[in-house]
């Protein structure tokens, strides 16, 4: 049974309306661009690495509540994490939104667990994560959810 309340949780709506870390990092050491061609969502992620650690991160783009809130909460979650830790988070996050895992321990990111009930919205929730992964890997191409 789908439940809209599970999808549009208060925290998601709040981050959609006031996204954190929104903008472009002027002294970024890594950047990537992502888009979801089916819906036109676009996102640019800029980040500054100190050694292997994400020291600071920003995102900019336009998208739905799910993709914007996901990007916003992602920027909060990855700060201070190593590349490997970020990739691990994404893996567990992806498992959660596709229904393959519970997401337990993902803390704030658990608000996206309702996405698994809405398969067409999985791409919205994961766009920012695909993009930061590309940035961390130093890929210059635009990543696409297609």
By CB under 8 A, name the binding residues for another protein.
2, 4, 7-8, 13, 17, 38-42, 62-66, 68, 118, 120-121, 124
Minimum distance of another protein from residue 56's CB (angstroms): 27
Neighbouring-strand partners of residue 48: 56
CA angle 46, 52, 53 (to 5 degrees): 60
Contacts of 146 (CB under 8 A, 6+ apart): 36, 37, 38
Q: Write the DSSP symbol of residue 142.
A: P
Contact (CB, 8 A) for 44 and 24: yes
């Amino acid at each position: 049974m789908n439940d809209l309340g599970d999808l549009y949780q208060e925290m998601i709506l709040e981050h959609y309306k006031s996204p954190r870390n929104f903008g472009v990092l002027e002294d970024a050491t890594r950047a990537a661009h992502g888009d979801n061609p089916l819906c036109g969502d676009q996102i640019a992620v800029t980040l500054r690495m100190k050694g292997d650690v994400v020291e600071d991160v920003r995102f900019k783009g336009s998208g739905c509540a799910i993709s914007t809130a996901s990007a916003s909460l992602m920027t909060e979650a990855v700060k201070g994490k190593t590349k490997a830790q970020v990739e691990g988070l994404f893996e567990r996050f992806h498992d959660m939104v596709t229904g393959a895992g519970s997401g337990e321990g993902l803390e704030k990111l658990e608000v996206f667990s309702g996405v698994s009930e809405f398969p067409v919205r999985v791409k919205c929730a994961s766009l920012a994560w695909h993009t930061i992964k590309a940035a961390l890997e130093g890929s210059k191409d635009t990543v696409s959810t297609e």
